[in-house]
Amino acid sequence: GDSVTQMEGPVTLSEEAFLTINCTYTATGYPSLFWYVQYPGEGLQLLLKATKADDKGSNKGFEATYRKETTSFHLEKGSVQVSDSAVYFCALNTPQGGSEKLVFGKGTKLTVNP
């Protein structure tokens, strides 16, 4: 079945450091890919998405490119801030039997220190 693998956390960085969180996927067909962010005590929020190969999603300084050849969707940010501390989830969406379900990775906790 479809699956998402993302790097194990936790990740601890200093403010202004470069961030990469790796995400690879296995899917039949042509999935859409997503990054969600969960701040402490809150639900998940969509951070960015890409719906076809070579698309780049971007938001709040974060970027991820849909790489079909390597089945990857790595999240990057050039200069992290303390406010970026959160749990990040990679996910994919494929239609199955007429309904759509998201498949999530297990999440990567990021802590940014001042």
Partner 1 sequence: DAGITQSPRHKVTETGTPVTLRCHQTENHRYMYWYRQDPGHGLRLIHYSYGVKDTDKGEVSDGYSVSRSKTEDFLLTLESATSSQTSVYFCATQTSGYNEQFFGPGTRLTVL
Q: Which residue has the tokens 């990469």?
A: 20
Among 20, 39, 46, 68, contact with partner 1 (rule: CB under 8 A): 46
Nearer to partner 1, 28 or 99 (CB): 99
Examine residue 60 and tell whether it contacts partner 1 (CB under 8 A). Answer: no
Interacting residues with partner 1 (CB under 8 A): 31-32, 34, 36, 42-46, 49, 51, 89, 93, 95, 98-102, 104-107
